[in-house]
Amino acid sequence: MKSGKQSIDNNSSAEHVEQHLQELEKADYELLYYSQEQSFSSDEMTRLVNEERLNELMAQSDAFLRGLNDGIKDFDKSTGN
């Protein structure tokens, strides 16, 4: 009799945990959804974005793309295309 009650309790606990996890997942999704809906004013963006670092990253990406493009051109020449 006692083992039957334990299995019922275990199922209840497992169901409770599953329900709680589903609620957390829903809350995370809602938070993500609503955070994407917020727009920033130009003043907020200016305050948030490190312009110097952004320019450095853009220069690095430009250099990477140039190198990639040169590599593709060299590859095409070597394959006869």
Mean pLDDT along residues 1-24: 70
54 and 76 housed in the same domain: yes
Mean pLDDT along residues 32-52: 79
46 and 31 housed in the same domain: no
60 and 28 housed in the same domain: no
Lookup: tokens for 10: 């275990």
The model's pTM: 0.39
45 and 33 housed in the same domain: no
Q: Residue 37: what pLDDT?
A: 67
28 and 62 housed in the same domain: no
79 and 47 housed in the same domain: yes
Specify whether the CB–CB gap between 48 and 40 falls below 8 A: yes
| Residue 65 pLDDT greater than 90, yes or no | yes
What's the mean pLDDT when you consider all of the chain? 79
pLDDT: which is higher, 31 or 81:
31
CA distances in angstroms from 75 to 8, 31, 65, 67, listed in the order given: 67, 46, 15, 12
Q: In 3-state terms, what secondary structure has residue 49? A: coil
**13 lies in which domain range?**
1-38
